Chain A
Amino acid sequence: MVKQFMSLEWKQFKRASYFQKGLAIKILLVLGAIYFGGLAILLGGGMFFILRKVLPEVDPIISINNFLVYWMLFELMIRYFMQQLPVMNIKPLMLIPIKRNTVIHYLLGKTTLSFFNFISLFLFLPFSIVLLAQGYPPTNVILWFVSLMSITMSLNFINFLINKSNTVFYVIAPTLIVLIGLEFYNIFKISEPVGIVFNALYNNPVFVIIPILIMIGMYYVNFKFIRKGFYLDDTVSKKVKEVNATDLSWMNRFGSIAPFLKNDVKMIWRNARPKQVMMMSFFFLFYGLMFYTQEIYMEMPAVLAFASMFITGGFLLSFGQLVPSWDSEYYKMLMSQNIPYRKYLESKWYLMVVAVTVSFILSTPYLYFGWKIFAMIAAGALFNIGLNTFITLFGGALNRVPIELNVKAKAFSNTNGFNPTQLLIALPKMVLPMILFYIPYKLINFNAGLLVLALSGVLGIVFKSFFLNKIEKIYQKGKYKTIAAFSEKK
């Protein structure tokens, strides 16, 4: 039976339209997977030595045990936002004589092959090997590793429950938030008892039985949960959500673009994919930490200019590049309606401007790194508002890949809304601020670089209607092609 399921899956995979897209994308995806996999392996292998260097007085295994709770939280969060749950096409399976239990076991088994389970494996396997090579007791290390893997699996199953059951979500999410808050303000450090638990796991290999039992328990709970809801209108198929209607009439003050703006806000709020993009763009805010903390980058202001643009540009880059695609599901309707393209584009423009502004406000803590850095972020934000928005909208006109709004993007298996043109158009978005900053910086000085970067943005704002007109023309020219591409069945 399982063999037949596998062959169905394989066909689904092979015949899916995204698989039949260009070779270039496939190569890129494989490279991406190798890159991140390799990064994880390197990090896992190097972690021991890094920890020994940073915290010489503590045994690396103890430091890592103390940190594990953060990793688990991080993993759970990433899973919640990124992991695509296996929604099998159960309708045809319900009518033919297969035991329900077989289908469910298969469904759950499939989740164990998720990319997200391999991150942990890639991280902790090399780490454990290094431990062994360093002469740590094999039983302890191996069983500790088994414990971690069991916990990863448990997280995998917990994530399924969180996603599928509102009760579980409303219990777990606030608990986590409270715990993180307490930890952050040093009221109660949950990481300490958890650290003790992990250390105990390492020191007493017998305890490995506990995570394994938890994993089996979680599997069982999931099994029960799905078994109960194994009907078309339940768990395994799509979920019907009750509407949370918010009054957005205050947005009417935006005049003629208000209807679009209101719609866009609802679109982002009520669909899985744009929500995910929102979440991702939030992470961009922390991008600066990677650069501003490193001495070497301080000598490379062009790189800093790039990083500063990134901090406020998260939403702009990730949302903006898919601009007409967000409306692909009902594009035909928009095109037959009494809609000025201009207003449609303008609404998207405002959305991006608001996002950049909010990111800029949120980035004020970067003041910690000094005024110079903050001025750079400000210049980057101006560039984003004034030029990057238009480049992004222009790039969107060349992007004709439909998006399924209410489906999360799968890591490394879904290229919906992604094509090589986007990569090409992404280049100027990233290189341009570097050039704009670097040339005057080299010729005159640091402040001149800042000024040029900021001025380029201001110029963009001044010539807003000129740019929008040009972009509108391009969108109009591609109208039929876009409609045809968007109505292609996935």
Chain B
Amino acid sequence: MITVSNLSKAYNGVEVLKLENLDIPKGQSFGLVGNNGAGKTTFFSLLLDLIQPSSGHIKNKNVLVHESEDWKPFTSSYIDESFLIGYLTAEEYFYFIGELRNQNKSDVDNLLAQFVDFFHDEIIGKKKYLRDLSKGNQKKVGIVAALIGNPEVIILDEPFANLDPTTQIRLKQILKDLASKQGVTVLVSSHDLMHVTDVCERIVVLEKGEMVKDLSTSEATLKELETHFSN
């Protein structure tokens, strides 16, 4: 689904990301881990064409990301709060995203109905602007909005941070189902090794912009990651 070749990104001559080859097949749940500054967000920003690569390219379903915009209809993402429109209520935001992704009101309502548990009665019908929600609730809105319109690729930057334990567990289930049952390619980054090993079938470790490990998740993976990061 996603092919990366010879991708690099440099700021003022300092290389912050360098990925020679990376292939993410359709329906894979893909995890990205690494310390601060390892290049996770840079990689996601490149995937979303928010920054330009210094060299190389990314193909999303055979569309060259930095040249065509045809990847947008089937790709969705939530990176940070700047993906939310602060002066809208949660519902208004969902409908707005729905309209952008050619979903009518009832389509969106149907989707939202599946997330009643996830929202825990704190999002819908609350008459609050998104800017007034807590960080965790903002994140919930952003993540669910990224599911609108049956995307084939979903990119989430640190989806577990700021969420309460109950929601973390629910989110894990949602993400697993997306990949295994609906064939959605899910890309997730996280600082929580336990969560990624739970959710992802494949985990890539970045260090100073380079890929140092590419693991397919097994019983031993968590241990291996822990040893890697304790050094």
> A residues touching B (Cβ–Cβ < 8 Å)?
240-243, 245, 258-259, 262-263, 266-267, 270-271, 329-333, 335-339, 405-406, 480, 483-484, 487
Q: Would you call A337 and B127 a contact (CB within 8 A)?
A: no
How many chain B residues touch A (Cβ–Cβ < 8 Å)?
32
Q: Write the nearest CB–CB distance from A363 to chain B, whole angstroms.
A: 30
Q: Would you call B129 and A339 a contact (CB within 8 A)?
A: no
Residues of B near A271 (CB, < 8 A) are 87
Asked if B128 lies at the interface with its beta carbon under 8 angstroms from chain A, I say: yes
Asked if B88 lies at the interface with its beta carbon under 8 angstroms from chain A, I say: yes
Residues of B near A331 (CB, < 8 A) are 82
Known: A336-B49, A337-B97. A243 touches B82 (CB 8 A): no
Q: Would you call B89 and A332 a contact (CB within 8 A)?
A: no
Q: Would you call A483 and B87 a contact (CB within 8 A)?
A: no
Residues of B near A332 (CB, < 8 A) are 50, 79-80, 82-83
* Interchain CA distance A406-B83 in the complex, whole Å: 17
Asked if B124 lies at the interface with its beta carbon under 8 angstroms from chain A, I say: no
**A-B pairs with the 4 shortest C-beta distances?**
A333-B83, A259-B99, A270-B87, A336-B48
* Interchain CA distance A241-B128 in the complex, whole Å: 7
Contact of A338 among B79, B87, B101, B129 (CB under 8 A): B101
* Interchain CA distance A333-B49 in the complex, whole Å: 11
Q: Would you call A405 and B96 a contact (CB within 8 A)?
A: no
Q: Would you call B73 and A338 a contact (CB within 8 A)?
A: yes
Residue of A nearest to B78 (CB): A333
Instruction: Determine chain A's interface SS by DSSP, over half rule.
Output: helix
Residues of A near B102 (CB, < 8 A) are 338
Q: Would you call B87 and A337 a contact (CB within 8 A)?
A: no
Known: A267-B87, A332-B79, A405-B87. A243 touches B128 (CB 8 A): yes
Residue of B nearest to A333 (CB): B83
Known: A259-B96, A332-B82. A480 touches B87 (CB 8 A): no
Residues of A near B89 (CB, < 8 A) are 243, 245
Residues of A near B132 (CB, < 8 A) are 240-241
Q: A259-B96, A487-B82 are in contact. List 16 more A-B contacts (CB 8 A).
A: A243-B89, A245-B92, A258-B99, A259-B100, A262-B96, A263-B96, A329-B86, A330-B84, A332-B82, A335-B49, A336-B49, A336-B79, A336-B83, A338-B73, A480-B51, A483-B51
16 A-B pairs with C-beta separation under 8 A = A241-B132, A245-B89, A258-B99, A329-B82, A330-B84, A330-B85, A332-B50, A332-B83, A333-B85, A337-B97, A338-B72, A338-B73, A405-B86, A480-B50, A483-B50, A484-B51
Residues of B near A258 (CB, < 8 A) are 99
Q: Would you call B127 and A338 a contact (CB within 8 A)?
A: no
Asked if B29 lies at the interface with its beta carbon under 8 angstroms from chain A, I say: no
Q: Which of A262, A266, A329, A336 has the most CB of B within 10 A?
A: A336
Q: Would you call A242 and B127 a contact (CB within 8 A)?
A: yes
Q: Which of B92, B100, B127, B128 has the most CB of A within 10 A?
A: B100
* Interchain CA distance A258-B75 in the complex, whole Å: 23
Residue of A nearest to B99 (CB): A259
Asked if B77 lies at the interface with its beta carbon under 8 angstroms from chain A, I say: yes
> B residues touching A (Cβ–Cβ < 8 Å)?
48-52, 72-73, 75, 77, 79-80, 82-89, 92, 96-97, 99-102, 127-129, 131-132, 149
Interface contacts (Cβ under 8 Å), in number, total: 81
* Interchain CA distance A331-B102 in the complex, whole Å: 20
Q: Write the nearest CB–CB distance from A15 to chain B, whole angstroms.
A: 23
Known: A406-B131, A483-B50. A333 touches B72 (CB 8 A): no
Residues of A near B52 (CB, < 8 A) are 480
* Interchain CA distance A480-B92 in the complex, whole Å: 28
Q: Would you call B50 and A336 a contact (CB within 8 A)?
A: yes
Residue of A nearest to B127 (CB): A243
Contact of A337 among B51, B92, B100 (CB under 8 A): B100
Residues of B near A336 (CB, < 8 A) are 48-50, 72, 75, 77, 79, 83
* Interchain CA distance A333-B141 in the complex, whole Å: 13
Residues of A near B86 (CB, < 8 A) are 329-330, 405-406
Residues of B near A406 (CB, < 8 A) are 86-87, 131
Q: Would you call A335 and B50 a contact (CB within 8 A)?
A: yes
Q: Would you call A337 and B72 a contact (CB within 8 A)?
A: yes
Residue of B nearest to A267 (CB): B87
* Interchain CA distance A243-B127 in the complex, whole Å: 5
* Interchain CA distance A331-B49 in the complex, whole Å: 13
* Interchain CA distance A270-B85 in the complex, whole Å: 12
Q: Write the nearest CB–CB distance from A332 to chain B, whole angstroms.
A: 5
* Interchain CA distance A240-B129 in the complex, whole Å: 8
Q: Would you call B129 and A243 a contact (CB within 8 A)?
A: yes
Q: Would you call A333 and B84 a contact (CB within 8 A)?
A: yes
* Interchain CA distance A338-B102 in the complex, whole Å: 9
Q: Would you call B83 and A330 a contact (CB within 8 A)?
A: yes
Residues of B near A480 (CB, < 8 A) are 50-52
Residues of A near B51 (CB, < 8 A) are 480, 483-484
* Interchain CA distance A267-B85 in the complex, whole Å: 9
Q: Write the nearest CB–CB distance from B196 to chain A, whole angstroms.
A: 23
Q: Write the nearest CB–CB distance from B83 to chain A, whole angstroms.
A: 4
* Interchain CA distance A336-B65 in the complex, whole Å: 11
Residues of B near A335 (CB, < 8 A) are 48-50
Q: Which of B49, B77, B82 has the most CB of A within 10 A?
A: B82
Residues of B near A483 (CB, < 8 A) are 50-51
* Interchain CA distance A436-B100 in the complex, whole Å: 41
Q: Which of B49, B50, B73, B83 has the most CB of A within 10 A?
A: B50
Residues of A near B80 (CB, < 8 A) are 332
Residues of B near A487 (CB, < 8 A) are 82
* Interchain CA distance A262-B98 in the complex, whole Å: 14
* Interchain CA distance A337-B149 in the complex, whole Å: 11
Q: Write the nearest CB–CB distance from B101 to chain A, whole angstroms.
A: 6
Contact of B88 among A266, A338, A339, A484 (CB under 8 A): A266
Residue of B nearest to A335 (CB): B50
* Interchain CA distance A259-B103 in the complex, whole Å: 12
Residue of A nearest to B131 (CB): A406
Residue of B nearest to A239 (CB): B132
Residues of A near B72 (CB, < 8 A) are 336-339
Residues of B near A259 (CB, < 8 A) are 96, 99-100
Q: Write the nearest CB–CB distance from A319 to chain B, whole angstroms.
A: 16
* Interchain CA distance A236-B216 in the complex, whole Å: 52
Residue of A nearest to B52 (CB): A480
Q: Write the nearest CB–CB distance from B147 to chain A, whole angstroms.
A: 14
